[in-house]
Structure 1
Amino acid sequence: NARPRLFTFPYACGSFSSLLQCVKHLPDDVEVWLFEYPGHGSRHAEPPAESMQQIIDEEVQAILPLLDKPTVFFGHSMGSHVMFKVAQALYAAGQPIPIHLIASGRTPPHMLHPDRQALTAGGAEAVRQKMEMKMVEWGMGPEKLGEETHRRQLSLLVECCKILGSPCPPTSIPAPITVYWGEFELLNNMALIRQWGELSATNQFKLREFQGGHYYFNEGGACLSVVRECISEDVFKYAPAPPPAAARSSTPTTSTLRYEIEDPTGA
Structure 2
Amino acid sequence: MNAAPADDGLWCRRFHPAPEANQRLVCFPHAGGSASFYFPVSAALSSTVDVVAVQYPGRQDRRTEPGVDSIEILADQIAEVLQGWDDRPTTFFGHSMGAVVAFEVARRLEESGSRVTRIFASGRRAPSRLRDEQVHKKDDDGIVAELRAMAGTDPQILGDEELLRMILPAIRSDYTAIETYAAPEDRTVAAPISAFVGDDDPKTTVEEAADWERHTTAECELRVFGGGHFYLADRSAEVISLLRKHFTGTSATTVS
The verdict on a shared fold, with TM-score over 0.5 as the criterion, is yes
TM-score category of the 2 structures, normalised to the smaller one: 0.7 to 0.9
How many residue pairs match? The answer is 228
Deviations for 1:54-91, whole angstroms, at most 9, x for unmatched residues? 31122111111312211100001111110100111112
- Identity percentage of aligned residues: 27
Q: Which has the higher contact order (CA 8 A, sep 6+)?
A: 1
Cα separation, 2, equivalents of 1:18 and 1:4: 21
Structure 2 residue runs of 5 or longer lacking an equivalent are 2-20, 252-256
**1:34-183 to 2 correspondences below 5 Å:** 34-93=53-112, 95-112=113-130, 114-116=131-133, 118-119=134-135, 124=137, 126=138, 128-139=140-151, 145-148=158-161, 150-151=164-165, 154-164=168-178, 165-169=180-184, 170-183=186-199
Cα separation, 2, equivalents of 1:141 and 1:17: 11
**SS at the partner of 1:172?**
coil
Task: Report the more deviating stretch, 132-141 or 101-110.
Answer: 132-141
Deviations for 1:160-215, whole angstroms, at most 9, x for unmatched residues? 1222333124322222100121222114522221000111201x111222333212
Among 215, 221, 228, which residue is 1:213 paired with? 228
Q: Match of 1:195?
A: 211
Contact kept, 8 Å, 1:140 with 1:150, in 2: the verdict is no
Letter in 1 for 2:55: E
Deviations for 1:98-134, whole angstroms, at most 9, x for unmatched residues? 111001111111221x242x545xxx4x354543332
**SS at the partner of 2:100?**
helix
Cα separation, 2, equivalents of 1:141 and 1:172: 31
Contact kept, 8 Å, 1:90 with 1:96, in 2: the verdict is yes
Cα separation, 1, equivalents of 2:165 and 2:123: 23
CA 1:57–1:142 in structure 2 vs 1: closer, same or farther (change >3 Å)?
closer
The CA RMSD measured in Å over matched residues stands at 2.6
Structure 1 residue runs of 5 or longer lacking an equivalent are 244-267
CA 1:7–1:58 in structure 2 vs 1: closer, same or farther (change >3 Å)?
same
Q: Match of 1:256?
A: none
Cα separation, 2, equivalents of 1:230 and 1:38: 30
1:227 maps onto 2:245 in alignment: no
Contact kept, 8 Å, 2:194 with 2:222, in 1: the verdict is yes
* Shift, 1:150, TM fit: 4.9
